[in-house]
Amino acid sequence: MRASTKLLIGGVLASGCANDPEYIAAPTSLEAGMMDAMGNLVTASASLTLPIKTESASDMAKRTARAQQLMIDVVPYVKVSDLAVSLEWTIKNLDQAPGHARIILNGANELFSFDPAMVVLDPTNDEAPPTPDLQGDIPLDIAAGAEMNGVFREDQILEASIDLDQITRGNVSPFKAILTVNKNDTLFQPLTTPVAPTVAMPDPVQMPLGNPIPREAFAQMVTFNLQFVPDHHMVLEYNLRVRDLRGIMDDLLLDAPADQLQTFAPTSYVPVPLTED
């Protein structure tokens, strides 16, 4: 099964962890599925960034030293071992007719952001499949006037985080990263930029680039970008459920003053494709 479509409907989160979860409610709900003035269905999107405490100079020095020991460019401040995140959602169908909806999840870690629309390996091929999303993008059947609850589980967010890191820092093809299961990987090897097949190179090979990145340096998603695509008038409400395994989230969460929170400025991942002359 495609990794980005393992969406649990009405799922129950696993329990038994010693860390109490914290809930970060989205500031606003997403309303979509109405017709605009041009007769097109309205979609909605939102972005939510985790309220991470500002990094201390001591922690930064330790990260820098560890990166030098591992002989890699950087050990991220927020790693996959630091947080366990899930995203709970509720869809309400406000229409008196049944409909369908899709929830699409992409996002960013502290280093890179990933938008599939920006990743086109072969712009000369109009029939090339679109780059897949990190999670979601499957049709959900919503009865008239009904509600549906669901969740992107902790293991799905972990998978998305590792896929995102492999695609961006590792230059792993998005198709390979997202369509395979990587959540248990212990390292990944950065590669040269992925390229589209051409007549001259029908099976292009990516070469290793630098040292492997171990799991202790895998970057955790810190920004969650949602797109809500219903075909009838519906509302999406959601929240993040976070187990803070390292104690790096601010106690005030989204109410924390901006100067207490780490500022993230990830680079947009846009690989430079090699096209046929």
* DSSP track, 113-141: EE-GGG--S-TT-TTSPPPPPSEE---EE
- Total-model pTM: 0.88
Specify if 276 maps to a domain.
no
Specify if 253 maps to a domain.
yes
Specify if 275 maps to a domain.
no
Is the pLDDT assigned to residue 19 strictly greater than 80?
A: no
Residue pair 12/153 in contact (Cβ under 8 Å)? The answer is no
Specify if 274 maps to a domain.
no
Specify if 101 maps to a domain.
yes
Percent share of the chain, pLDDT over 90: 77
CA gap 36, 43 in Å, rounded: 10
Mean pLDDT score across all residues of the chain: 90
Strands 147-152 and 83-93, how do they pair? antiparallel
Specify if 90 maps to a domain.
yes
Q: Would you state the pLDDT for residue 4?
A: 39
For the chain, what is the domain count? Answer: 1
For residue range 172-190, what is the model confidence (pLDDT) as tens digits? 989 999 999 999 999 999 9
Residue range(s) defining the domain that contains residue 250: 3-10+19-196+206-268
Query: Rounded mean pLDDT of 93-115?
Result: 97
Specify if 24 maps to a domain.
yes
* Dihedral sign (CA 25, 31, 32, 37): negative
By the 10 Å C-beta count (0-12 exposed, 13-18 middle, 19+ buried), 130 is classed as exposed
Specify if 273 maps to a domain.
no
